[in-house]
Chains A and B, each alone.
Chain A
Amino acid sequence: MRLLEYQAKRLFKEYGIRVPNSYVVRSIEEARKYSNELGFPLVAKAQVRVGGRGKAGIIKVCRDVYELDRTVDSMLGSDVKGEIVKSILLEEFIPHDRELYLSIFLDRSKRRYTIIASNEGGVDIESVGDKLVRPVDIFNYDANESVMDEVASYLGLNEGSIDFINITKRLLRLVNEKEAELAEINPLAVVDSTIIALDAKIIIDDNALFRHEELRVFEEQGIETEARKSGFSLVELDGNIAVVGNGAGLVMSTIDMLSDADGRAACFLDVGGGATLDNIYKALTLISRLDKVKAILVNLFGGIVDTSIVAQAIMNAYKDNVINVPLFARIAGRNADIAKDMLRNSRAMMFDSVEEAISHAVNAVKG
């Protein structure tokens, strides 16, 4: 779960990592009200979970109320790489001398946590050549003293080094206690001898949320979260063909083949291991809520899948008006002949190969 900037900064504050004064606003009225508290100039930052916000033009310095009005008006409700801006963080403007980069993240290949620091803050760390990467032990803070000293001296922090080391220790504690996969401060601003986190990015291990009820408030409400509660996994995409299957790899693979055939997926939907009547019906119900869906592509594989049950679920969904778009399926399993027969007079078609199902789906949305 990736937190929004303001949510991550709330955690920073809780852990004693200094952040600028700020308010979250969801309307022009709120923005005006809180701008009085903050004063001008201030920084308006759209709250979305996508990277590169600076480049996307959704972080703006406002010098007066007119600029604020205009900025808030254009940001709220706008679509940034498929995500709608619902809130804006208004933040005091902090003049600073230097921008640093600091992150602690789980290095999958080394199978341990790693600290990355750089003098080039404020840009994408991937593009930065000059950076220090060191392993850290998030379970035993004291074991990291020498690494911290090394990082502080690498960054050339003299009077600020005590403050920096404190922040790093707190970040380590946050990563450990909240089970984060990543905690990133970019940029980390140096103002005289103090250090302030101007941005905040935290990714929490979704699978650890059962141990962190306190983080549930940050969960995004929407179709993806709802799918998760049914044991599915759904990712909204920007095409018009809904892709459903059993198994994440199989669904990804189906979407790859679909895009090779010039089709575009409206969503990724993995119904997990059990392709049961209830599950398939529930999956179709979720899909029905995505207006952009013009066709459904189903790819199920498994020796123990009874395809006639899947066909029954599809028939029921049409009968109950849950779905009203054509459906193209490749279902490998038992009773395929019975299933084909059942679907003969419906808007669903069954094929022996996924390639055939895909080409029919692509043709159907061409209209």
Chain B
Amino acid sequence: MLVNSIDIFSILQGNASDDNYNKKPVIVQGMTGKFGSLHTRLMYEYGTNIVAGVTPGKGGQSFDGIPVYNSVKDALKDHKAEISVMFVPAPYFLDAATDALVNGIKLLVAIPEHVPVRDTLKCIELARDNDAVVVGPNTPGIIVPGVMKLGIMPAQPFSKGNTVVISRSGTLMYEISYRLTLAGFGQRLCLGIGGDPINCLTLIECFELIRNRNDVNSVVVVGEIGGSAEEQLAEYIIDTEFKKPVVAYIAGRSAPKEKRMGHAGAIVYGSYGSAESKVGMFAKAGVPVAKRPAEVPVLLAEKMGAYQADHDK
């Protein structure tokens, strides 16, 4: 397991005894662009402690009073940060990721869509060599409701609680989190792993991060057609006897074969990547799969009720 040694929660929030607990410094790569500047403001408003921005060629300027540097390397001379959120256009993804990872960033949230798979593969190696975690690319990011937001998700759908939502899709992560919120299931963490064929941080790695946490009481997986990440996760749940209640949703079961449904990763070849295969494996692992987003909290309530009853015996 690649990220066993890295505790994403401690990078995100720190320890309660830290001076900057829940206020960990964050760098934004591509802060001065249209997208980057909009979301820098929204993240800041939510409470994210953004200390510096990076835009090559704009070093020395500032944005909303936040200093801008030419590189992460330069920014880290003045600021101690382990987290970076990246908004650069896809062709610059690998350069920006290299700048972040070789210079000490331990958690990189890579928002850009349309990154070539080749560059993602290289980024995975970089993360491994530098003991860092990369989330994405093609992700809405991470939100710790009530604490911080690293990404482009709206704030409204989310609320504080003990469920973790892991998603391959952006808008569906918002939609399903909103349903959970309405049903009283607040979230400890919502994380988009990204809609690409290869995600730097995998579903299984996400489960490793939360399996021993007492403040997480349930998990919702939002999957979609394409690849076999859900099947592998189901095997992991069986093999490692993952105990927390898990509920899933899979988008794309009516999609035709060999058509890429918006996300680079959402494509079925033969039976490889099909919804039936995923739902079938989840069934073996005891993970109910909702037919539509609104059904997720219903299934979760059932699953948690059963789990509780089992516990009380």
Q: Which residue of A lies closest to B266 (CB)?
A: A248
**A99 in the interface, Cβ–Cβ < 8 Å?**
no
| Smallest beta-carbon distance B269→chain A, Å | 8
Interface residues of A in 66-123 (CB under 8 A from B): 82, 106, 108-109, 111-112
Q: Report the Cα distance A256→B252, complex, angstroms.
A: 6
> Contact at A301–B175, with CB atoms within 8 Å?
yes
| Smallest beta-carbon distance B143→chain A, Å | 12
> Contact at B262–A268, with CB atoms within 8 Å?
yes
SS class, residues of chain A in contact with chain B: mixed
Known contacts A249-B172, A250-B172, A181 near B197 by CB under 8 Å? yes
> Contact at B224–A181, with CB atoms within 8 Å?
no
Q: Which residue of B lies closest to A211 (CB)?
A: B116
> Contact at A304–B154, with CB atoms within 8 Å?
yes
Contact residue among A51, A126, A181 (Cβ-Cβ distance under 8 Å from B272): A126
> Contact at B253–A248, with CB atoms within 8 Å?
no
> Contact at B169–A208, with CB atoms within 8 Å?
no
**A16 in the interface, Cβ–Cβ < 8 Å?**
no
> Contact at A249–B116, with CB atoms within 8 Å?
no
Q: Report the Cα distance A250→B260, complex, angstroms.
A: 14
| Smallest beta-carbon distance A288→chain B, Å | 20
Number of interface residues of B (CB under 8 A): 60
Contacts of B174 in A (CB 8 A): 301-303
Known contacts A205-B118, A252-B266, A273-B152, A259 near B254 by CB under 8 Å? yes
> Contact at B228–A303, with CB atoms within 8 Å?
no
Contacts of A5 in B (CB 8 A): none
**B281 in the interface, Cβ–Cβ < 8 Å?**
no
Known contacts A207-B117, A247-B170, A106 near B229 by CB under 8 Å? no
> Contact at B262–A257, with CB atoms within 8 Å?
no
> Contact at B258–A2, with CB atoms within 8 Å?
yes
**B293 in the interface, Cβ–Cβ < 8 Å?**
yes
**B77 in the interface, Cβ–Cβ < 8 Å?**
no
| Smallest beta-carbon distance A257→chain B, Å | 5
**A260 in the interface, Cβ–Cβ < 8 Å?**
yes
Most buried by A among B117, B168, B258, B265: B117
> Contact at A249–B271, with CB atoms within 8 Å?
no
**B58 in the interface, Cβ–Cβ < 8 Å?**
no
Interface residues of B in 186-203 (CB under 8 A from A): 195, 197-198
| Smallest beta-carbon distance B1→chain A, Å | 14
**B121 in the interface, Cβ–Cβ < 8 Å?**
yes
For chain A, which range describes its interface: under 10, 10 to 19, 20 to 34, or 35 or more residues?
Answer: 35 or more
**A199 in the interface, Cβ–Cβ < 8 Å?**
no
| Smallest beta-carbon distance B129→chain A, Å | 15
Q: Report the Cα distance A270→B292, complex, angstroms.
A: 19
**A194 in the interface, Cβ–Cβ < 8 Å?**
no
> Contact at B117–A205, with CB atoms within 8 Å?
yes
> Contact at B261–A268, with CB atoms within 8 Å?
yes
Contacts of A109 in B (CB 8 A): 227-229, 232
> Contact at B154–A247, with CB atoms within 8 Å?
no
> Contact at A126–B115, with CB atoms within 8 Å?
no
**A241 in the interface, Cβ–Cβ < 8 Å?**
no
> Contact at B116–A205, with CB atoms within 8 Å?
yes
Q: Report the Cα distance A270→B113, complex, angstroms.
A: 14
**B15 in the interface, Cβ–Cβ < 8 Å?**
no
| Smallest beta-carbon distance A347→chain B, Å | 26
Q: Report the Cα distance A235→B257, complex, angstroms.
A: 12
> Contact at A256–B253, with CB atoms within 8 Å?
yes
> Contact at B258–A248, with CB atoms within 8 Å?
no
**A251 in the interface, Cβ–Cβ < 8 Å?**
yes
> Contact at A253–B251, with CB atoms within 8 Å?
yes
| Smallest beta-carbon distance A103→chain B, Å | 11
> Contact at A108–B262, with CB atoms within 8 Å?
no
Q: Report the Cα distance A104→B221, complex, angstroms.
A: 31
> Contact at A248–B195, with CB atoms within 8 Å?
yes
Binary flags per residue of A123-165, CB closer than 8 Å to B gives 1, else 0: 0101000000000000000000000000000000000000000
Contacts of B117 in A (CB 8 A): 106, 179, 181, 205, 207-208
Contacts of A210 in B (CB 8 A): 90-91
| Smallest beta-carbon distance B49→chain A, Å | 22
Q: Which residue of A lies closest to B293 (CB)?
A: A253
Contacts of A35 in B (CB 8 A): none
Binary flags per residue of B280-293, CB closer than 8 Å to A gives 1, else 0: 00000000000111
> Contact at A108–B291, with CB atoms within 8 Å?
no
> Contact at A249–B171, with CB atoms within 8 Å?
yes
Q: Which residue of A lies closest to B168 (CB)?
A: A249
> Contact at A251–B254, with CB atoms within 8 Å?
no
> Contact at A252–B258, with CB atoms within 8 Å?
no
> Contact at B262–A270, with CB atoms within 8 Å?
yes
Contacts of A181 in B (CB 8 A): 117, 197
Q: Report the Cα distance A208→B124, complex, angstroms.
A: 17
**A167 in the interface, Cβ–Cβ < 8 Å?**
no
| Smallest beta-carbon distance B54→chain A, Å | 22
**A246 in the interface, Cβ–Cβ < 8 Å?**
yes
Interface residues of B in 240-296 (CB under 8 A from A): 249, 251-266, 270-272, 291-294
**A206 in the interface, Cβ–Cβ < 8 Å?**
yes
Contacts of B198 in A (CB 8 A): 106, 108, 111
Contacts of B105 in A (CB 8 A): none
> Contact at B251–A50, with CB atoms within 8 Å?
no
**B222 in the interface, Cβ–Cβ < 8 Å?**
yes
Q: Which residue of A lies closest to B227 (CB)?
A: A108
**B114 in the interface, Cβ–Cβ < 8 Å?**
yes
**B108 in the interface, Cβ–Cβ < 8 Å?**
no
Interface residues of B in 126-160 (CB under 8 A from A): 152, 154-157
Contacts of B232 in A (CB 8 A): 109
| Smallest beta-carbon distance A247→chain B, Å | 3
Known contacts A181-B197, A256-B251, A257-B292, A250 near B154 by CB under 8 Å? no
Q: Report the Cα distance A355→B124, complex, angstroms.
A: 40
Known contacts A207-B116, A255-B254, A250 near B156 by CB under 8 Å? no
With A237-B256, A248-B261 given, can you name 20 additional A-B contacts, CB distance below 8 Å?
A106-B198, A108-B197, A108-B226, A109-B232, A206-B264, A235-B260, A247-B169, A247-B170, A247-B171, A249-B172, A249-B222, A250-B172, A252-B262, A256-B254, A260-B292, A268-B255, A270-B262, A273-B170, A303-B154, A355-B294
